Structure formats: structure tokens, C-alpha cells
Amino acid sequence: MRYNDTSELEISLLLEAIFQKYGYDFRQYSEAHIRRRVMNRMAMSGLSDISQMQSKVINDESFASELLQDLSITVTEMFRDPDFYRSLRENVLPLLKTYPFIKIWHAGCATGQEAYSMAIIMQEEGLYERTTLYATDFNPQALKRAKEGIFPNSLMKEYTSNYQSAGGKESFSSYYISDHDNVIMNQSLKKNIVWANHNLVTDSVFAEVHLILCRNVLIYFDKNLQNKVQKLFYNSLINGGILCLGSKESLRFTDLHEEYTELDKKQRIFKKKY
């Protein structure tokens, strides 16, 4: 592979060093995403060039941990894109209700807000008692925060608005306990969530599920990696299972485009063919 400039080569070597030393593989992530995060960390750390950063990553595990956090995708919120959750209630839950047990996979769950959102919906629809919700991410710090279910009180106004717009049936405040500057999500929401470390880039199928939600993650991957992950999702879904992607993501240019039907084109909800 030929590189257009020295910095491209340096970033490639940096990602190779991270993979060889720590086992995290960012080599097929979007170049623009990686470059932006690397340059930001370099500026914040007062480093003069990427080669210097590579040496620091190899020899300083605390710095490597900071960079891994930068490269991770942890942007999320409760009931993000309310119209999506409204469509989920209307178009997907009637299908899930036909199964005696329901398995849902939140792939790339970050700090867990969307997993808790799903738990709330399943509870309101009377389905949570027969649901197992797998929430996975490769970032251990994000998973720890997700499992704790503690979020800033300052976000609750926005989350409440999202919940109401998504067709919420209760008072959103009934799902958490306020504790000074934070809120703690109710234990009843946590009981059927299985938090697990899983890396979409390097790990394989770990469960057969009825519904996969992976929203606004694949946009950070290059086309080859997107295809690889889509095959992982396809092999993880039962026949007739549902795949939910983000608003800027699509199956259109993947190898598996013909293997799904669209349940909601606008909200990127797809059903695996039998």
C-alpha cells in the first residue's frame, strides 16, 4: 500500500503498534475519524509528531488508555432519535411479541443510555420479563459506566423530552432516582441486561438474537470493515430477525443488501429474510 504523505504512514504505524501491543484494532476505521482524534490527542499532550506519540503509546500504558478512549465511539443519549424509537414500538415490537423469549443485542453500547432506553420500552410493552438484553462494547471504562447506570442530572431534561417524543407511556422520572448531581437508573431496568466486552472488529458471533441495534457505529468503519461486521450481524440474527442501523448508515452498498427487506426505510430498520 502506498501512502500519499508521511502522516498517513505514521498514523498507520501508530494503529499497528496499538494492535500489536494492546490488541485493539483500529486499522480499518475511517481515516478521517482516526486522524481527527489522533491530532487532537497529540495537541493536548504537547507532542511534536505522530512518531513521538507512537513511542509514548508503546511505553506508557496510561497514555495508551487515554488514546484508546479518544478512538472509541461513546457519543450516545437516552432515546436518541425519538422517531426511531416510535417506529420500533410500532413496527418491531409486534413481531417480537410472537416469540416466547426475546434476545436483543445492543452492539457498541458505549455508556449504556440506549440499552436502558430499550429496557424501558420493553417494560412498558409488557415484554421485559421474557427479554435478555446483551449490551456490548470493547471499551471497559464505558462498560463500567453503563453497568453503574449513573448519569448527570443535567441531561434529564433532554432525555425526558426524547422519551416523550418517542411515545413514552409513563413519567420518565419514575425510571431513575435522583442523587444530588446525578441520577441512578432503577434496578428493575438492569436485571435483564447482560453487559459484556465484545469487539466488533476482532470478535465473532456470541449469541443468536431476535433484534440487533448498532446505530451510528459503522459510519466510523471503512467499507471492508462494514462488510465484515454486517456478516457478523447477519450470522447472529435468527431468520426473520431485525437489524437497526443509524440514520446515516445503510445496507445498500454491502454484500448482504439482498438478504434483508426494509421495515422502515427512513429509520433504517431491516428484517432478515427467511
Which CATH number do you get for residue 113? 3.40.50.150
The model's confidence at residue 68, banded by pLDDT at 50, 70 and 90, is confident
Q: Does 252 fall in a domain? A: yes
Q: Indicate if the pLDDT at residue 132 is higher than 90.
A: yes
pLDDT digits (tens, 9 = 90+) for 225-245: 899 999 999 999 999 999 999
Give the domain-ending residue among 32, 52, 71.
71
How far apart, in whole angstroms, are the C-alpha atoms of residue 228 and residue 223?
9
Q: Phi and psi dihedrals of 182, rounded to 5?
A: -125, 170
Domain range enclosing 41: 6-71
Percent of the chain with pLDDT over 90: 68
Which single residue is written with the C-alpha cell 432525555?
A: 159
Q: Are 181 and 45 contained in the same domain?
A: no
Residues 63 and 29 placed together within one structural domain of the fold: yes
Task: Verify that 191 and 67 share a domain, yes or no.
Answer: no
How much is the pLDDT for 148? Answer: 96
Mean pLDDT for all residues in the chain: 92
pLDDT for the residue 92? 97
Count structural domains, the chain.
2
Residue where a domain terminates, one of 71, 95, 122: 71
Using DSSP, state whether 185 is helix, strand or coil.
strand
Residue 76 belongs to a domain: no
Q: Buried b / exposed e across 219-245, counting CB within 10 Å, b at 16+? A: ebbeeebbbbbbebbbebbeeebbbbb
- Nearest-Å Rg of the Cα atoms of the chain is 20
pLDDT value of position 3: 47
Q: What is the pLDDT of residue 125?
A: 96
pTM metric for this prediction: 0.85
Residue 5 confidence class, pLDDT cut points 50, 70, 90? low
pLDDT band at 112 (very low <50, low <70, confident <90, very high): very high
| Residue 140 located in a structural domain | yes
**At 250, is the pLDDT very low, low, confident or very high (cuts 50, 70, 90)?**
confident
